[in-house]
Chain A
Amino acid sequence: MSTDDAPEAAPADPFAQLDWGNQIFEPEKIAALMCGRAHAAFLGMHYHAHGGDWIELALPWREDLVGVAETGVFASGPIISLLDNATSMSVWCRFGGFRPQATLDLRVDYMRAAARGATLIGRGECYQIKRSVAFVRGVAHDGDPADPVAHVVGTFMLTGPSMTSGTAS
């Protein structure tokens, strides 16, 4: 993890080297790539599990990510980052390939504070993709999916041409 300020785009950034059109889509590998750089790497996010239209990322608790120093509860910022990334990647899972997209909106409900020291699991699910917009939802929990820490709904704008795995761009 680099903590250096990098005002210029780092040439080694794996995201920048991603061949959107020709890359074979493997959620586990792409999640590792996306979590191994920049903001997600700083937070310590990593791949957990995936299915046909969902993916789970994990975010271990860390002292410098807490929102209230006295209680040690996770700040809400890292929870949003976790859910943003998980829901974003769930769109690729459902689509079965890459396509460039941008977060249009996210709404997060906080049900309770995460337990101090507990690893958060962020689950993102894409339940519909239309021509311009992908619709997502998800939860963050610290061990029991039935007792979530947070719930999210959101939309992503599809910003480029459709690209399925294995086809030329």
Chain B
Amino acid sequence: MTLDEQIAALPPYALSMGMSVERIEDGAPVLALDFSERVLGRPGFVHGGAISGLLEMAAIAALRAELARRGNPARIKPVNVSIEFMRGAGHGRTFALGRVTRAGRRIANLSATVWQDNPAKPVASAWMNVLLAG
């Protein structure tokens, strides 16, 4: 999928939150979240729910790219997600990249990380399982 195709695939929630597609990295899109009042949690820090939403969007976007490569038109239905928070995300932009651990016929196992200035210092990470519906 091209950058433009990934941008067009972002749902209303992602757009209203201020998420965008920054670039494509190894075939998967890097998402970016702008800091604003609408994603603010405790003063000065991005809300954990907004970070979680960004992680899920990145994981799903990576899977969407992988399914497109395979010519698989399956619908994606989330089954569960587990998020670990390592450090606070302050002012500035927040980035997320998803990975497809395995995409089978019915289930895909995904992961994603969120960072701000340095990908080696993650803000949060998640794993996610989704159903692939025909």
Contacts and interface: CB of A to CB of B under 8 A. Distances in A.
Contacts of B54: 77
Contacts of B16: 64-65
B78 interface: yes
Interface stretch (A48-56, A80-88, A133-141): A80-88
Contacts of B47: 38-40, 81, 84
Interface string B50-65: 1011101100000000
B88 interface: yes
Contacts of A22: none
B82 A80 contact: no
Interface residues of B, number: 38
B80 A105 contact: no
Nearest to B92: A7
Given A66-B13, A77-B56, A105-B84, A39 B41 contact: yes
Q: Specify the main secondary structure of chain B where it touches its partner.
A: mixed
A63 interface: yes
A15 B43 contact: yes
Which of B11, B13, B52, B84 has the most chain A CB atoms inside 10 A of its CB? B13
Q: How large is the interface on A (under 10, 10 to 19, 20 to 34, 35 or more residues)?
A: 35 or more
Given A77-B56, A106-B83, A67 B11 contact: yes
B35 interface: yes
Interface string A1-31: 0111111011001011000000000000000
Q: Specify the main secondary structure of chain A where it touches its partner.
A: mixed
B47 to A, nearest CB: 4
B44 interface: yes
A47 B33 CA distance: 27
B79 A109 contact: yes
A114 B41 CA distance: 24
Contacts of B57: 77
Interface in B76-105: 77-85, 88, 91
A127 interface: no
B22 interface: no
Contacts of A80: 48-49, 52-53, 56, 81, 83
A77 B44 contact: no
19 contacts: A2-B37, A4-B36, A4-B37, A6-B40, A39-B38, A39-B39, A39-B40, A39-B50, A42-B37, A42-B39, A65-B12, A65-B16, A66-B11, A75-B13, A75-B14, A77-B49, A82-B49, A109-B79, A110-B77
Given A40-B47, A75-B13, A109-B79, 4 more contacts: A2-B37, A6-B40, A110-B77, A110-B80
